[in-house]
Chains A and B, each alone.
Chain A
Amino acid sequence: MKKTKRRFERYPGVECIIHSLGADEKIAQRLAQMGVLPGATLQIIRLAPFGTTVEVSVDSGQSFAIRDEYLTALKCQILAMPLTYPDVRLHTTYRIRTLFGGRKFQQRMETQGIHPGLFIKIVNLTKPRVILQLIEHEKTVKLGRGEAEKIIIEVTNA
């Protein structure tokens, strides 16, 4: 499915798979020589305070600081995104991929029945609350925006 180009690099937690390294020769060459090649998975870790610099990690275990314009130039396919990502739709089934936070956050989510692998539907996305329907548990959970940002979901084929 083709979607309009989102500035995916502005959403910590987004994971994507690189399809091509972009048009800028120098940057493409730099990334390639560092071992960041088409087929690698990137995850956006965090944005610097002023926003134009991004920390990303690659599946080979390295972590980079990189300017967001370079990321925009990459051709990527989004694999996973936080609940608050603009492309996330209401009433569509997603699977929780990871909980993108510290141990405390993971425990808190666990007590509410939220854990990786779970199928969910989103009932409400309007601020300030995000309401999730946990499909298997047949219940709904209310989350704060801050929590929703750290729940990384992926599209399911089902």
Chain B
Amino acid sequence: MPERAEKVVVALSSIPNTGKTTLFNRLTGSSQTTGNWPGVSVEKKVGRFTLGEFEISLVDLPGAYALSPVTEEENIVRTYFLKTPPAVILNIIDASNLYRSLGLTLQMCTSGLPMVVAVNMIDKTTQLDIPLLSTHLGVPVIPISARSGQGVPDLQQALYEVIKEPERTHIPHISCPPVLEEAAKELSRKIIPGGALEKMDSNFLAMRLLEEKTFADSIQKTGLAAVINQWRDRVEKTTGEQIPITCAKCRFNAARGLILETTRKQSAPPDERSKCIDNILLHRWFSLPLFLLIMFLLFQAVYGLGAPLQDLIGQGFDAAEAWLRVQPFISRQSDWLQSFLFDGLWQGLGVVTSFFPIVALFFIFMSLIEDSGYMARAAFLMDHLMHRLGLDGKAFINLLLGYGCNVPAIMGTRILSSHHNRIITILLIPFTLCIARLQVFVFLTTILFSPVIAPFILFSLYLSSFIVIVLTGFFLKVLRIAGKPEPFIMEIPPYRMPTISGVALKTRQELKDFLYRAAPLIIAGVIVVWFLTHFPADVPAAGAETWAGRLGHLFSPLFNPLGIHWQETVALLFGLIAKEIVVGAMAVIYGGGDLSNQVFQHISPLQGLSFMVFTLFYTPCVATIAAIKAESGSWKITLFSLILGLVIAWLASLVLYQTGLALGLR
């Protein structure tokens, strides 16, 4: 073995909700990086720590119930194991319900890869014969509590030893119906595993080939396909069911046997506390009002606390700008450079910073709801409504929070249970009427409409936002833009107390992500808009002669039927920086003076309404675009979202304006 620190990949894998992330955080502290798994917007987390002379990369795999995939997440786990097997598997078992976890554990054990099993949440039960479990599984088994840290040093020691001495003593045998065993034995003789698969047990590989039609394509050698199919047919005919189900039966039968042998007391007592809480929170009549109350509090907590902080930051930036502008080393610079520094770069930084408070608050409160176990209940309550759109209940919360600000809502889609749901929700969130847009609408309606009508206008804007979300949801469902929805079968976890460290780590991670993945795009976007509205250099900013003005003119044939003048098109372009800027931009574009008066003279109520409808549906802002890119990890989705927004905005404004004209409105 080499002398220098050797790099070792350890993969953390278990079924959902066993404390994987908690253990990951405990082992790696803050040295984590997140990203997306290639091609899918599923979180990929890698963290580093050292064990003696080894430098460990710990990969936090998505939760999976088995290696033959049903969901996108499981597909990732399966592909990861078979394409790039880790040096060691770190598998977690939920001590409070062994049966849940053992199915996957047994499957992983038979792979023949070096493995360590951690029995987590040992604080909840002590009635376990750990050595016996270890003997049966053929791998070290360590009781731990990821939450309190108890047993973690032992786990590290066990990992170290397995890395040093990776040979497995024995591989457990799971008894199956004779025909299946025969098929596996027959096939295992025929496959000659090469490359990454060399380390794996051939019986395990044979099982994989039998269980999974898609996997077979990736490793089969010539002539094997026919044999596999033959066996598959024979097994399915004999057992009368699909092979994955037969295999699951075998595993869980083995699991039952193991549990009988290794637990001293029969099955853990049912969780009375969760039952009591559910009797209230999921009560037939009270559940919905309570849900709405919790959502209201959540919304208020994020945006009620966040908005003043945002204002404060905005003021700070303005003050700093004013101070900087008069500094000699800056005022000496040329005009356009100053403009670039302040109207471009500085403004971009300001936009990025202004998102910090709400992103932080958003993830603090979302983690509380998620970690406490209420998120699953919310999904259960709202499932029926969202099911119609091909989504499940969790997406409701993201959409709802979009009504505050799209950016954190889009970042928060990571909690959703499938790739399909994430993409659809990401595409729908931009149609929510966020607070920034509300500010523009309030400003315009008070100028253009009488105080009696104005509230109705605002209300109908909210209503049309709902309607467009529902219609677009149906449209996307029919279009199958993100593939098929996954079956909705969700485990409802017991209620648990969230931990401060867990919430803090999560929030920190999200802020870091926002900074690294979304912020550069936001600043770039702001600078592009600055360029369009300030160049060529020798014309007045935001005027008809700038690129923006020319674009406005160029597109006027498109916008005239909507009753939107080129000046407002430029304002819409400005609105990409942030919606709050639209109003200020209008003042500049109309050439100063009293803005209310200017608006009143230039825009008729019907035109104003059309402008607002367009503002409501076209892409909210560069920050949202950046968030969509960062979350979906795909320019295609980002572009699709942009176009979808523009098309819907255009159509909605067109219908509104032309109908209005036809009805004789003005």
Which of A's residues lie within 8 Å of B, judged by CB?
Answer: 20-21, 24-35, 37-38, 46, 48-53, 55, 60-67, 70, 102
A49–B103 touching, CB < 8 Å: no
A32 in contact with B384 given A64-B490, A64-B491 (CB within 8 Å): no
Bound-complex Cα distance A46 to B377 (A)? 12
A49–B287 touching, CB < 8 Å: yes
B244–A49 touching, CB < 8 Å: no
Bound-complex Cα distance A55 to B489 (A)? 10
A35–B489 touching, CB < 8 Å: no
Decide if B487 is an interface residue (CB 8 Å cutoff): yes
Q: Which residues of A contact B489 (CB under 8 A)?
A: 27, 30-31, 34, 64-67, 70
Which of B's residues lie within 8 Å of A, judged by CB?
Answer: 65-66, 68, 70, 97, 99-100, 103, 241-242, 244-245, 248-249, 252, 255, 267-268, 270, 276, 279, 282, 284, 287-288, 376, 379-381, 383-385, 387, 393, 486-492
Q: Which residues of A contact B385 (CB under 8 A)?
A: 50
Bound-complex Cα distance A31 to B267 (A)? 20
Bound-complex Cα distance A2 to B59 (A)? 52
Bound-complex Cα distance A48 to B488 (A)? 14
Q: Which residues of A contact B491 (CB under 8 A)?
A: 34, 62-64
Which one of B103, B245, B288, B380 lies within 8 Å of A53 (CB-CB)? B380
Q: Which residue of B lies closest to A60 (CB)?
A: B99
Q: Which of B241, B245, B490 has most A Cβ within 10 Å?
A: B245
B97–A55 touching, CB < 8 Å: no
Bound-complex Cα distance A26 to B65 (A)? 13
Closest 8 pairs (CB-CB, A-B): A50-B384, A32-B248, A33-B65, A33-B66, A53-B383, A65-B380, A63-B492, A32-B245
Q: Which residues of B contact A64 (CB under 8 A)?
A: 489-492
Q: Which residues of B contact A66 (CB under 8 A)?
A: 488-490
Q: Which residues of B contact A61 (CB under 8 A)?
A: 97, 99-100, 267-268, 270
Q: Which residues of A contact B279 (CB under 8 A)?
A: 102
Nearest CB of A to B252, in Å: 5
Q: Report 23 cross-chain contacts, Cβ distance below 8 Å, ordered by A residue.
A: A26-B70, A26-B486, A30-B487, A32-B245, A34-B103, A35-B248, A35-B255, A37-B248, A46-B284, A49-B287, A49-B381, A52-B384, A61-B267, A61-B270, A62-B100, A64-B489, A64-B492, A65-B376, A65-B489, A66-B489, A67-B383, A70-B487, A102-B279
Nearest CB of A to B507, in Å: 27
A30–B70 touching, CB < 8 Å: yes
Q: Which residue of B lies closest to A46 (CB)?
A: B282
B381–A35 touching, CB < 8 Å: no
Bound-complex Cα distance A107 to B244 (A)? 46
Q: Which residues of A contact B380 (CB under 8 A)?
A: 48, 53, 55, 65
Nearest CB of A to B654, in Å: 35
Which one of B270, B284, B490 lies within 8 Å of A65 (CB-CB)? B490
Q: Which of B68, B276, B393, B488 has most A Cβ within 10 Å?
A: B488
Q: Which residue of A lies closest to B240 (CB)?
A: A20
Bound-complex Cα distance A64 to B268 (A)? 17
Bound-complex Cα distance A52 to B381 (A)? 10
Q: Which residues of A contact B288 (CB under 8 A)?
A: 49
Bound-complex Cα distance A21 to B35 (A)? 37
B492–A65 touching, CB < 8 Å: yes
Q: Which residue of A lies closest to B65 (CB)?
A: A33
A29 in contact with B255 given A55-B492, A61-B99, A62-B100 (CB within 8 Å): no
Q: Which residue of B lies closest to A21 (CB)?
A: B245
Q: Which residues of B contact A65 (CB under 8 A)?
A: 376, 379-380, 383, 488-490, 492
Nearest CB of B to A98, in Å: 12
Bound-complex Cα distance A38 to B65 (A)? 18
Q: Which residues of A contact B249 (CB under 8 A)?
A: 32, 37-38
Bound-complex Cα distance A66 to B376 (A)? 12
B242–A28 touching, CB < 8 Å: yes
Q: Which residues of A contact B267 (CB under 8 A)?
A: 60-61
Nearest CB of A to B618, in Å: 33
Q: Which residues of A contact B287 (CB under 8 A)?
A: 49
Bound-complex Cα distance A37 to B66 (A)? 14
Nearest CB of A to B421, in Å: 14
A37–B492 touching, CB < 8 Å: no
Given contacts A29-B70, A33-B70, A52-B384, 17 further A-B contacts (CB under 8 A): A29-B248, A32-B245, A35-B100, A35-B248, A38-B249, A49-B284, A49-B381, A49-B384, A50-B384, A51-B384, A53-B383, A53-B387, A62-B491, A65-B379, A65-B488, A65-B490, A67-B487
Which one of A27, A37, A50, A60 lies within 8 Å of B100 (CB-CB)? A60
A35–B245 touching, CB < 8 Å: no
B99–A35 touching, CB < 8 Å: yes
Bound-complex Cα distance A21 to B103 (A)? 18
Bound-complex Cα distance A32 to B239 (A)? 15
Q: Which residues of A contact B492 (CB under 8 A)?
A: 55, 63-65
Bound-complex Cα distance A34 to B248 (A)? 9
